Amino acid sequence: MNPFPHLLQKCLLDTKHVECAAMIVAKSVEVTAASENFSIRPEQAEVFVDAFDHVTVTRQRGLHFKSKLYTCVRADKHSIYSKYEGRGLILVRTALFVIVATYSQNMYPSICVEAVEKLELKSIRNMSSSSEKSPLSSRFMLSILDFLLLFLRFFIIEPSPEACPGPRV
C-alpha cells in the first residue's frame, strides 16, 4: 500500500491552497504519487529533479510545465518557486523526493509554499545538506527513519488538529 497519495491529499490538497501535488523519487526520477487528474510525464519529472542541479540556469530560464513558461521567483538547492500569470509551481527537494505542488489564481501562494515546506521535514533537509560527510548507508537509514516517523504521525497516531502541517481553511 502506497501511503503517499493519502499524505498528499491530507497535508497539501486539504489546505485548499494546493491545486495539485506529486512526489517524485529523486534518485530514480519516478513519480511515486500524484493527486487525481495530475500527471507528470517522465521527461518532465527529470526536468524537475535536474532543476536542483542547475539552479542558476533555472533562475534565468524558468521552467516549462504544461506548455507554459513559468518564471522563476526563487531557486536554491532546497526549493524552487515559479509562476505563470496567476498560477504557480512549487518544487521542494528532500533527501529522497522532489515534492511538486501547483496553485491556481484563486489560491494564496504563501499558504501553498508553507504547506509544501512543512511537509518537507527539517531533519531530511539538514541531512541532505550534510550528505557529503555521511556514508550512504547512514543517510539511507536516516531517511527511512524520517519516513517511518512521518508515516506514524499521519496514519497510526490518533490525528489531532496539529497532526497535519499547513494551515486549515
Residues in a beta bridge with 98: 24, 93
Domains and CATH numbers, the chain: 4-156 (3.30.450.30)
Report the distance separating Cα 44 and Cα 147, nearest Å.
25
pLDDT at residue number 148: 60
Report the distance separating Cα 135 and Cα 139, nearest Å.
6
Report the first-to-last Cα separation within the chain, whole angstroms: 29
The three three-digit cell numbers of residue 9, written as one number? 491529499
Report the distance separating Cα 36 and Cα 58, nearest Å.
27
Q: Which region holds residue 15: left if phi is over 0, alpha if psi is between -120 and 50, else beta?
A: alpha
pLDDT at residue number 6: 82
Model's pTM, two decimal places?
0.71
Question: How many residues comprise the chain?
Answer: 169
pLDDT at residue number 8: 87
Mean pLDDT of residues grouped by 10 in the chain (169 residues)?
Answer: 81 91 93 91 96 95 95 94 95 91 93 85 42 45 57 53 50
Q: Which region holds residue 29: left if phi is over 0, alpha if psi is between -120 and 50, else beta?
A: left
Residues in a beta bridge with 102: 20, 89
The three three-digit cell numbers of residue 13, written as one number? 490538497
pLDDT at residue number 114: 87
Report the distance separating Cα 122 and Cα 163, nearest Å.
16
pLDDT at residue number 146: 61
